[in-house]
Amino acid sequence: MMGRAHLVISTGVTLSVMGLTGIPITLPAAAVAVVSSLLPDIDEPNSILVRTAIPTGLLRVLQLTLVAVAIFIYFYGQEYAPWNLALAGLIAVVSFLPGRTLRHIVMFMIGLGLLQFGHSFSPWNIIAGCVLMISTLVSHRGLTHSLYAVAGWTLLLYFGTEGSAWGESIWVAGGLSYALHLAADMLTNRGIRLLPPLKFRVKFKLMSTGSKWGNMVENVCIVLTLVLLWYVFIASK
């Protein structure tokens, strides 16, 4: 499914389930549900989550900066010739890479930065850095779309909020919303591999992302989610 459908369906169903089961719906829990609904697609550089965190405008600034650095190294590094030319050329080539590749590079460098310097602020930055770096190396709908990822994200939220007054809301919202994203992807022709490296895929072949039929299925699911939200938070009150 497309990011918009994941956002509405996973978040909406998660909040509805929490409302039906009496689990407090706090603002942090709702925010975690929103992020978790998109988090599995962190391995796709053009996903909503990645494009929001690393917008196209930022990539353009990065490209211009790299070009400027290449020019500076070329003209002011003459005494190191021909290495200045080689380095300037390499930087210039990187600046003209496709947006997808540049986003992966930015994600990898942010992850590396968190590993190197973030641990002094919070040990959780080490985990965040590892996740960002690994996400740039795996294929789409790979490790991030597995039961390992669901369990890892849920446990991370559980232990990260253990002892707090709103801890249960956080890990339930995050774990459920993440799992619902995977459940929605099971409806597609491609499906997902829940237990890699096992090649077994769960796919119900009800839709193909981007096709007319697929868009119709997504819209129906979105409408049903909105009806569920209306029933839980308005009609049943």
| pLDDT single digits (tens) 6-51 | 999 999 999 999 999 999 999 999 999 999 999 999 999 989 999 9
More confident residue, 188 or 126: 188
Q: How much is the pLDDT for 1?
A: 67
Q: Could you give the CA distance from residue 88 to residue 83 in angstroms, rounded to a whole number?
A: 8
Q: How much is the pLDDT for 160?
A: 84
Q: Are 170 and 155 a contacting pair, CB within 8 Å? A: no
pTM confidence score: 0.88
Would you call 219 exposed, middle or buried from its count of C-beta atoms within 10 A (0-12, 13-18, 19+)?
Answer: exposed
Q: What is the pLDDT of residues 52-93, one digit of tens each?
A: 999 999 999 999 999 999 999 999 888 888 899 999 999 999
Q: How much is the pLDDT for 28?
A: 93
Across 49-65, b (16+ Cβ under 10 Å) vs e yields: bbbeebeeeebeebbee
